[in-house]
Amino acid sequence: MTAVEFVAVAVAIMAASCLQSSIGFGMGMVAGPVIALVDTSLMPGTLIVLSVVLTALGVVADRTSLELTGTGWALAGRVPGSLMGAFLVALLPGRALALCVAVTILMAVVLSQRGWSPAPSRRNLVTAGLASGIFGTSAAIGGPPLALVWRDVEAARLRAMMSAFLLVGSLLALGSLLIAHAITRASFELAGYMMPAMLAGWAASRVANRYLSRPALTRVGMVTATCGAVVLVVTQVF
**What would the 3-class secondary structure string for 188-236 be?**
HHHHHHHHHHHHHHHHHHHHHHHHCCHHHHHHHHHHHHHHHHHHHHHHH
Q: Which residues contact 47 (CB under 8 A, 6 or more apart)?
A: 13, 27, 28, 31, 32, 35, 140
Burial of residue 69, with CB atoms counted within 10 A of its CB: 0-12 exposed, 13-18 middle, 19 or more buried = exposed
CB 169 within 8 A of CB 54: no
CA angle 185-189-194, nearest 5°?
A: 145
Q: What is the pLDDT along the chain (238 residues), one digit of tens a residue?
A: 899 999 999 999 999 999 888 888 888 888 988 998 899 899 899 999 999 999 999 888 888 777 777 788 898 999 999 999 898 888 888 788 888 888 888 887 787 777 666 788 889 899 989 988 998 888 888 888 888 888 777 777 888 888 888 999 999 999 999 998 889 999 999 999 999 999 999 999 888 877 777 677 677 777 877 887 887 787 777 6
Asked if 212 and 204 count as a contact pair (C-beta separation under 8 A), the reply is: no
User: Is there a contact between 104 and 141 (Cβ–Cβ < 8 Å)?
Assistant: yes
